[in-house]
């Protein structure tokens, strides 16, 4: 049998394009046992062990991190890794930080120091993973809500489920600050998606000066933008019946702002998952079509998320994800136990989406 550790090693890079070769950054114990792991198990909230065929063990301690991390905090993580983990740590796709150790005696001291410094240790097994999110008002030019603020408010309420294993199964909560969803929220147990509810406001007199009109028209995914002169000069017009409020046009044309403080808000989606265990992967489904932006703590949105979490926690069977729980009780019962209102917006009647053929007013069970 070929040595997997040798087959994955890439040749020396001759350019600076792309990420560096990962192999030199792996802990020596991982390099020695690459592809030879027998099993892994969670020892306690936030602590996992992988056991190799050789009997060697590597311990993982996970803490909840943030998408935007200061250099001061990053240096602190590096110092802690030097002290307990031989300098090895990694950042996960959900913005958690994992310290990789081969000395079991360092696990408890590491957990103790991280906890004392205010970093929650957890996010493994039957708990909520770190909440992944987009950029929001901090960076995104088409955001309909904040990302860091909503995520902070939600995770403050869910903290007890991050540092423990009290849930029926793992829980993935995500947030996207617009319907373009660069936060990959379309397949989460619970997702908050911010949305615009009004078409872009065309600044007709500025379009010709600062926008490339053919590119602006081409940027619309539903062909809702067309050419229309304004005072004898080239400009564009928006077909409001076709507009889906995605903000793509504003990305290429600053003269078409879409943000609207009075109408922008949040929607709640549930029942998505990427795992194919027990049931196939699926996309999230609409639960609440709109909630207001309420900075700095977004109480309505937080309450909605907690309502779903508590109803699922109390009603689900062991290892039953949110989507599987909904499948078992049915959508009518989901709306009953959560108290959410079933509205016309839960019926797929989008006229340009005939392929779904879901025009019925009957809830799918």
Give the pair of three-digit tokens for residue 312.
Answer: 């699922």
Give the pair of three-digit tokens for residue 75.
Answer: 């240096």
The domain made up of 204-250 has a fold known as Alpha-Beta Plaits (3.30.70)
Cα angle, residue 93 at apex, residues 287 and 170 outer, rounded to 5°: 50
d(CA 202, CA 237) in angstroms, rounded, equals 7
Residue 91 is predicted with a pLDDT of: 93
- 215: number of Cβ within 10 Å: 11
The domain limits of the chain are: 4-116, 132-197+261-356, 204-250
> For residue 176, what are the β-bridge partners?
193
Residue 360 is predicted with a pLDDT of: 47
Eight-class DSSP state of 84: H
The domain made up of 4-116 has a fold known as Alpha-Beta Plaits (3.30.70)
Residue 218 is predicted with a pLDDT of: 95
The architecture (CATH level 2) of 132-197+261-356 comes to 2-Layer Sandwich (3.30)
Q: Residue 231: helix, strand or coil by DSSP?
A: coil
CA gyration radius for the chain? 24
Question: In angstroms, what CA-CA distances link 314 with 100, 272, 286?
Answer: 34, 19, 21
Dihedral Cα 305, 311, 314, 315, nearest 10 deg: -130
CA 173 to chain centre: 7
Residue count of the chain: 365
Give the predicted TM-score (pTM) of the model. Answer: 0.87
Angle between helices 322-329 and 331-338 in degrees, nearest 10 = 110
Q: Do domains 4-116 and 204-250 have the same CATH topology?
A: yes
Eight-class DSSP state of 304: H
Residue numbers in the chain where pLDDT is lower than 50: 1-2, 4, 357-365
């Amino acid at each position: 049998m070929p040595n997997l550790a040798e087959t994955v090693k890439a040749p020396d890079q001759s350019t600076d394009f792309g990420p560096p070769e990962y192999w030199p950054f792996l802990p020596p114990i991982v390099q020695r046992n690459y592809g030879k792991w027998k099993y892994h198990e969670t020892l306690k909230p936030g602590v996992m062990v992988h056991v190799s065929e050789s009997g060697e063990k590597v311990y993982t301690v996970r803490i909840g991190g943030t998408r935007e991390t200061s250099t001061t905090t990053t240096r602190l993580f590096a110092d802690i890794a030097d002290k307990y983990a031989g300098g090895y740590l990694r950042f996960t796709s959900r913005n958690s930080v994992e310290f990789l150790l081969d000395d079991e005696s360092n696990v408890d001291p590491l957990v103790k120091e991280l906890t004392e410094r205010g970093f929650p240790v957890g996010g493994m097994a039957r708990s909520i993973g770190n909440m992944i999110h987009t950029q929001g008002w901090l960076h995104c030019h088409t955001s309909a809500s904040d990302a860091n603020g909503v995520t902070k408010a939600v995770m403050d309420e869910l903290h007890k489920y991050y540092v423990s294993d009290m849930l029926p199964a793992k829980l993935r909560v995500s947030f996207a600050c617009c319907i373009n969803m660069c936060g990959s929220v379309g397949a989460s147990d619970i997702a908050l998606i911010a949305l615009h509810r009004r078409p872009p406001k065309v600044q007709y007199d500025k379009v010709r000066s600062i926008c490339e009109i053919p590119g602006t028209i081409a940027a619309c995914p539903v062909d809702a933008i067309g050419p229309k002169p304004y005072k004898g000069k080239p400009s564009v017009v928006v077909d409001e019946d076709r507009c889906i409020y995605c903000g793509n046009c504003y990305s290429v044309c600053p003269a078409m702002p879409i943000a609207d403080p009075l109408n922008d808000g949040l929607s709640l989606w549930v029942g998505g998952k990427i795992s194919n265990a027990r049931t196939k992967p699926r996309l999230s489904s609409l639960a609440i079509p709109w909630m207001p932006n309420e900075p700095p703590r977004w109480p309505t949105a937080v309450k909605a998320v907690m309502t779903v979490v508590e109803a699922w926690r109390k009603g689900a069977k062991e290892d039953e994800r949110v989507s599987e729980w909904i499948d078992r009780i049915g959508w009518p019962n989901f709306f009953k136990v959560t108290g959410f209102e079933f509205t016309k917006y839960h019926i797929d009647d989008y006229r340009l989406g005939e392929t779904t053929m879901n025009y019925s007013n009957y809830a799918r069970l």
